[in-house]
Amino acid sequence: MRRERRSFLLLAGGFAVSMGVAWPASAGERLVITGSSTIAPLVTEMAKRYEKIHPGVRIDVQTGGSHRGLNDARRGLAEIGMVSRALKEDEHDVTSFVLAYDGVTMIVHQDSQIEELTKEQIVGIYTGRIQNWSQVGGPDKDIVVINKAEGRSTLESFVEYFGIKTKDIKADVVVGDNEQGIKAIAGSPYSIGYVSIGNGEYDVGKGVPIKLLPLEGIPANRQTVAAQQFPIVRPLNLVVANNKEPSARVADFIAFATSDDVRDIVESFYYVSPQPGQSEHGS
């Protein structure tokens, strides 16, 4: 897998160097990128910058979850998929390229008395054994459990870490993307959910009334993600199918999206840029 990733990027980079200029764009040239709603805002900003450099190119970024990104790339419905987790052992039919690293953590309303929950308490809340905040040191109020929809990598990261089967989750509200989850928590003082740390930190900085909870005593922030200390760290990937040679334009955009030319965009979203030679977390 790693050999494939390096050779692909070297091919794109090597051609660009030999040309000495940016790829010329054909009129109306279009790339479709679909998948993870965690990654989509980041890729949208990268796409805007790429389009300014290549005026004839239009990049259409669509959400729908990592499952959609994988399937669309495999079926040729999108040139590139977005997947916000490490690839699984049986997903060898696609090649991934790490854009950034992110974490997943629990969030509650800013005014919540809760400052931290144990792993066992979170499992109890999500499986219905704990239904009132008073059972975990909070007020005598029912807990509003917010969960992610099927096909979302944030859900996959959550259930894998906590050892919960999705069928056992007792949710009051099911949301799609991270922003929907954050809005739900911000509007419900007695709710709990889990989101991307990058998205959460970004919204806290904008004054959204949520609070990111630590896990295993480790603060949920970009610094602990960068140090690979936080319990749930995941790569944010672009993926392409291995059943056909990617076009020069696809190779060029991926080379651009994984270069230092967009590091400022990655950091503006509170994600962590991969270091040279850094591999996928957990692979």
Both structure tokens of 50: 């790429």
Q: How far apart are CA 255 and CA 23, in angstroms?
A: 12
Q: Model's pTM, two decimal places?
A: 0.84
Surface-to-core class of residue 275, CB atoms within 10 Å of its CB (0-12 exposed, 13-18 middle, 19+ buried): exposed
pLDDT band at 63 (very low <50, low <70, confident <90, very high): very high
> CA-CA distances (angstroms) from residue 106 to 28, 126, 222?
43, 12, 15
* pLDDT tens-digit map of 236-273: 999 999 998 889 999 999 999 999 999 999 999 999 99
Position 13 scores a pLDDT of 36
Q: How far apart are CA 191 and CA 83, in angstroms?
A: 27
Q: How far apart are CA 187 and CA 251, in angstroms?
A: 42
Position 153 scores a pLDDT of 87
Q: For the residues 75-83, what does the mean pLDDT come to?
A: 96
Q: How far apart are CA 251 and CA 83, in angstroms?
A: 17
Both structure tokens of 82: 């977005």
> CA-CA distances (angstroms) from residue 247 to 12, 30, 105?
10, 12, 37
Q: How far apart are CA 112 and CA 93, in angstroms?
A: 45
In this model, does residue 12 exceed pLDDT 50?
A: no
Position 165 scores a pLDDT of 95
Q: Would you give the distance in Å from CA 248 to the centre of its chain? A: 26
Query: How does strand 173-175 pair with strand 144-148?
Result: parallel
Both structure tokens of 103: 């974490």
* pLDDT tens-digit map of 16-41: 322 233 455 555 689 999 999 999 99
230-235-239 Cα angle (round to 5): 170
Domains of the chain, CATH where assigned = 2-101+233-268 (3.40.190.10), 102-226 (3.40.190.10)
Both structure tokens of 34: 């679909």
Position 227 scores a pLDDT of 94
Write the CB contacts of 19 (distance below 8 Å, at least 6 apart in sequence).
none
Average pLDDT, the chain: 88
* pLDDT tens-digit map of 144-200: 999 999 888 899 999 999 999 999 999 999 998 889 999 999 999 999 999 999 999
Q: How far apart are CA 34 and CA 40, in angstroms?
A: 8
Q: For the residues 206-216, what does the mean pLDDT come to?
A: 97
